[in-house]
């Protein structure tokens, strides 16, 4: 009996040992897969980054567009080769753009930490310019050449960083829309990029901002922003004025010094169901370089300019569901970019034909500055004022139209006019009946219609007219321009017009 018991116990021990060895040979159980989870804290489209408490949203758009009789998509034909209105001008431009934005948010004990970046990849038509050779040779602006687009994208391939900022505990740090701007930036109802009448940094400006939220849609912000890229027009030393620069809309040698102070911007906004009201103010330091090539030549003292803006938007007006009116007005002194927004040119020169005997053609020109001065003199700040706005009507859930427009004035004080009009270069241009006044008005009027056949896919057609109301009169002895292939001849100074058409297809995601 003891023998049988020992045999059974021994067999059991062997089986236990064998089962333990087999268990050791089995694969270790895999961890549960961490699937991407929807993050509902910050709205639609956010997901948790696996293994973290950070939510991320990816978005953007792909855009294909063509413009006719424009200045390279973003403006009417108002200067340079486009303003020449001849065979050197491109009457057709095309552009394709891929935009990608990345939005991350993390809840912390100090509030939400947010990062946002908006990146673009763009291919844009360039343009041609005459070389002035006897054979009429031309040169095409290619990537890396002086064919830069105003939105930061060079002709042909270009990469843009529109926004890149961090938001934390009420602070915004990085490249974001200026706090001076209305929420619609340059677009109260349009695709056209050439409206005056307010600030507009649609590709962002470097800034350090604190925003206070008082609830009920009421916010206020104070901001220090870098003026170098987007908020300077021209500081002209009129001692360097030439006949060629005048007819191109420039009144001297541009003389910027280094950037020594940021622009200081303040904003108060009420954003509620009925619409929006905003008041903005900016202070801008005009810091020139030297009068001459050496620091011993001296320089004018700095002068601070300023800008003030009011903006109003009313939603769901009685004309139909979703209809709206948006309008803003601005006044600047020594801070012209807060009126002549960042996608606009700062010089204008538009040509036309003439049927007057002894006159080859017509010309309208003008230039925008923050200040002008002469060697040994002080800065004379330039004044501008203007407004822009739009009315948008929804015909149906898939169709809408907007009529929009802007008007602005640029005014030089009497001392500045004396410097410009009293120059030898201006006297050399003077012809029969010539009167000199560098002031000008500029206005635009446009109509856009959009069709959205399916969600997030929109086709649009945008027609815009621009009028340059320059204050010169009489004739000038034009010295000729090889760049735009205009001959030396007598030209009559006259207001000019430009009309463009922009067709666009855009898929948002």
- DSSP states of 126-175 as a string? --EEE---TT--EEE--TTSS-B-TTSPBSEEEEEEEEEEEEETTEEEEE
Q: Which residues are 312's β-sheet partners?
A: 277, 327
Asked if residue 192 has pLDDT above 70, the reply is: yes
Using the predicted structure, report yes or no on whether residue 371 has a pLDDT greater than 70: yes
Residue-level pLDDT at 165? 98
Bridge partners, 48 (sequence order):
55
Q: What is the DSSP letter of 44?
A: T
- Asked if the model's pLDDT at residue 408 lies above 60, the reply is yes
Query: H or E stretch including 483?
Result: none
Model confidence over 222-251: pLDDT tens digits? 999 999 989 999 999 999 999 999 999 999
Question: What's the confidence (pLDDT) of residue 482?
Answer: 85
3-state secondary structure 176-238: ECCCCCCCCCCCCCCCCCCCCCECCCCCCEEEEEEEEEEECCEEEEEEEECCCCCCCCCEEEH
* Integer Cα distance of 507 and 448 in angstroms: 18
Nearest-angstrom CA–CA distance, 379 and 371: 6
> pLDDT by residue (tens digit) across 467-489?
999 999 999 999 998 888 899 99
137, 334, 353 from 482: Cα distances, Å = 10, 33, 18
Residues 102-138: tens digit of each pLDDT: 999 999 998 999 999 999 999 888 777 776 676 778 7
Least confident of 62-76, 305-319, 346-360: 62-76
d(CA 297, CA 94): 47
Average pLDDT over residues 83-95: 87
Q: Tell me what pLDDT residue 142 has.
A: 57
| Average pLDDT value for residue range 387-405 | 97
Report the chain's mean pLDDT, rounded to a whole number.
90
pTM: 0.88
Neighbours of 4 (CB within 10 A): 8
Which pLDDT tens digit goes with each residue over 338-363?
Answer: 999 999 999 999 999 998 999 999 99
User: Is pLDDT at 186 greater than 90 in this prediction?
Assistant: yes
> Mean pLDDT throughout 194-203?
93
The CA distance from 256 to 236, in Å, is 9
The SS3 of residue 81 is helix
pLDDT tens digits, one per residue of 424-476: 999 999 999 999 999 999 999 999 999 999 999 999 999 999 999 999 999 99
């Amino acid at each position: 009996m003891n023998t049988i018991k020992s045999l059974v116990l021994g067999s059991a021990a062997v089986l236990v040992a064998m089962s333990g060895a087999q268990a050791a040979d089995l694969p270790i159980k895999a961890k549960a897969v961490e699937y991407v989870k929807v993050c509902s804290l910050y709205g639609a489209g956010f997901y948790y980054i696996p293994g973290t408490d950070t939510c991320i949203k990816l978005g953007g758009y792909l855009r294909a567009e063509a413009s006719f009789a424009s200045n390279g998509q973003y403006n009417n034909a108002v200067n340079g080769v486009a303003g020449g209105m001849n065979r050197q001008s491109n009457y057709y431009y095309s552009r394709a753009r891929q935009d990608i934005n990345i939005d991350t948010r993390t809840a912390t004990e100090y509030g939400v930490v947010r990062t946002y970046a908006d990146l673009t990849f763009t291919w844009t038509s360039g343009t041609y310019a005459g070389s002035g050779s006897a054979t009429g040779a031309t040169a095409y602006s290619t990537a890396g050449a002086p064919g830069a687009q105003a939105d930061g994208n060079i002709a042909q391939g270009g990469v843009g960083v529109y926004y890149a900022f961090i938001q934390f505990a009420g602070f915004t740090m990085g490249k974001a829309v200026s706090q001076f701007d209305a929420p619609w930036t340059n677009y109260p109802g349009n695709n056209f990029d050439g409206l005056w009448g307010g600030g507009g940094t649609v590709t962002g400006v470097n800034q350090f901002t604190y925003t206070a939220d008082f609830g009920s849609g009421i916010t206020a912000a104070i901001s220090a922003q870098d003026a170098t890229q987007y908020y300077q027009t021209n500081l002209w030393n009129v001692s360097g004025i030439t006949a060629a620069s005048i007819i191109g809309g420039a009144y001297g040698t541009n003389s910027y010094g280094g950037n020594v102070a940021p622009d200081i911007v303040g904003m108060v906004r009420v954003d509620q169901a009925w619409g929006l009201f905003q008041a903005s103010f900016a202070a801008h330091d005009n810091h020139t370089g030297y009068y001459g090539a050496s620091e011993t030549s001296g320089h004018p003292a700095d002068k601070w300019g300023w800008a003030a803006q009011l903006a109003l938007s009313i939603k769901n007006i009685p004309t139909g569901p979703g209809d709206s009116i948006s309008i803003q007005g601005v006044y600047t002194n020594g801070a012209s970019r807060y009126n002549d927004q960042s996608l606009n040119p700062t010089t204008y020169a538009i040509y036309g034909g003439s049927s007057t005997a002894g006159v080859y053609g017509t010309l309208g020109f003008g230039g925008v500055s923050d200040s002008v001065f002469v060697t040994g003199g002080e800065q004379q700040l330039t004044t501008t004022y203007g407004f822009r706005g739009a009315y948008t009507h929804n015909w149906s859930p898939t169709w809408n139209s907007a009529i929009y427009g802007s008007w602005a004035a640029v005014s030089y004080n009497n001392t500045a006019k004396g410097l410009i009009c009293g120059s030898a270069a201006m006297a050399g241009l003077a012809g029969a009946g010539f009167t000199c006044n560098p002031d000008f008005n500029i206005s635009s009027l446009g109509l856009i219609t959009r069709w959205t056949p399916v969600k997030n896919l929109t086709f649009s057609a945008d027609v815009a007219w621009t009028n340059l109301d320059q204050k010169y009169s009489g004739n000038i002895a034009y010295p000729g321009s090889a760049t735009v292939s205009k001959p030396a001849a007598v030209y009559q100074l006259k207001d000019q017009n430009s009309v463009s058409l922009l067709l666009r297809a855009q898929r948002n995601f």
